Structure 1
């Protein structure tokens, strides 16, 4: 088998399953584990997957710009939002970040729900501004024109003033050992919101499970609940359940 063909199979196997191991790939391709290890290192250098201990995981292929993400997988995000809204009770104080699944949640808040929502996201703020009973606190700072959200010291200082009931975390990439995203500034904001929340609820479509992005946020087990559009039979959720994370 040609090296290029072997690389294509390794990438396909990793993307399909979310991860792959030296052992399974060695058996499938009838080559040594040392050969697979070298292949995975090359593919990691090309950005086609991410090498981890014992094998590889897929890299997030979610579009980076907000405009490209906001209408992607919209039906799945609406299912996620419907599940998430059931966790909210009147009187709570909440963090909403700039995730597009979080935006769908902001759009369907019941009109009689009396909550305080703290956000750094302009789209989320726009969705809530006409809500009759929800109080909105917008976190200032520099504008990230890719995510339409604020970041920087002013934003972080604003977050530090609160201790909220629930943080609804828009997930870019989640693996059994870490949460990650595509912007360093976004990673800093998400970690700060986690630190200043009693409970963190992650929202993500199932294709983000078992993927990684360049910037580390926190260990995955710091999250309390994960909501996807398909909690049963989703690849990777079993490993997250073992961490004590509730799957909805």
Structure 2
């Protein structure tokens, strides 16, 4: 089998199985595992997969630029946003992450809700300007343009002064083994800091993020209160998350 044929085969298996285990594929094809690992490195460099220990997972479409992500899975993000907004009770202090799903949460909030939203997303804060009864606090810092959020030392220091009832966490990948992942190390660190300041953490995960992975781990999936998703309840990763004791809120 030629290298190009192997790559096509690996891509097809990744699509059908949702993951690749290098030693298993090597055994099936009767070739050295090092060849498969080299193929996976090349595929990862081309943005076709996300390498993990022992193999590869689908790459998340949520690593695209902000404008592109705004057009991906719009209906699913709105369903997730509505389910997330329903968790916010009057009087709560809520940490709201950045990203397109978090932005959809602002539109799903009841107009009579009295609550405090703390965010490191200027876009999210601007969307709440016209909300009549929600107080908004913005955490300042260096602007990470990919996700339109602040990060870095100043933002993390400001976040450590907050105590919240819940954190609505946005990620680019959700997997029972790879965990909750995103595409930037500083952004992952900021998300961990925000998660440490909330009593409960809920993951905003529209279906395209389930089973996908990105380079940097935010948290293990077992460290959150629940995953909010519109993915099929029978999705293999959703079933694995449930088996690991992780609550799933169906959107």
Alpha-carbon distance in 1 for matches of 2:101, 2:221 = 19
Alpha-carbon distance in 1 for matches of 2:136, 2:171 = 22
1:85 match: 85
The count of aligned residue pairs is 247
- Alpha carbons of structure 1 residues 63 and 217: separation in structure 2 relative to 1, 3 Å: closer
2:190 match: 189
- Whether the 8 Å CA contact 1:172–1:182 is kept in 2: the answer is yes
Greater displacement, 11-20 / 72-81: 11-20
**Structure 1: 5+ residue runs without aligned partners?**
none
TM-score normalized with structure 1 length: 0.90
CA deviations on 1:183-233 (whole Å, 9 max, x unpaired) are 222111101011111111001221212222122222221122111123412
- Alpha carbons of structure 1 residues 56 and 146: separation in structure 2 relative to 1, 3 Å: closer
- RMSD value over aligned CA atoms? 2.1
TM-score normalized with structure 2 length: 0.89
- Alpha carbons of structure 1 residues 71 and 197: separation in structure 2 relative to 1, 3 Å: same
Alpha-carbon distance in 2 for matches of 1:17, 1:198 = 36
2:243 match: 242
Please list, as runs of the form range in 1=range in 2, the aligned pairs for 1:92-241 lying within 5 A after superposition. Answer: 92-177=92-177, 178-241=179-242
Deviation (angstroms), 1:147: 2.2
- Alpha carbons of structure 1 residues 4 and 213: separation in structure 2 relative to 1, 3 Å: same
Alpha-carbon distance in 2 for matches of 1:71, 1:45 = 25
Instruction: Give the match's secondary structure for 1:62.
Output: helix
- Whether the 8 Å CA contact 2:210–2:231 is kept in 1: the answer is no
Please list, as runs of the form range in 1=range in 2, the aligned pairs for 1:68-83 lying within 5 A after superposition. Answer: 68-83=68-83
- Alpha carbons of structure 1 residues 54 and 214: separation in structure 2 relative to 1, 3 Å: closer
Alpha-carbon distance in 1 for matches of 2:43, 2:78 = 35
Alpha-carbon distance in 1 for matches of 2:239, 2:169 = 20
- Whether the 8 Å CA contact 1:64–1:182 is kept in 2: the answer is no
Alpha-carbon distance in 2 for matches of 1:80, 1:214 = 24
Alpha-carbon distance in 2 for matches of 1:47, 1:69 = 16
Deviation (angstroms), 1:164: 0.8
Deviation (angstroms), 1:42: 4.5
1:31 match: 30
- Alpha carbons of structure 1 residues 33 and 208: separation in structure 2 relative to 1, 3 Å: farther
Greater displacement, 96-105 / 139-148: 139-148
Deviation (angstroms), 1:111: 1.0
- Whether the 8 Å CA contact 1:231–1:247 is kept in 2: the answer is no
- Whether the 8 Å CA contact 1:18–1:209 is kept in 2: the answer is no
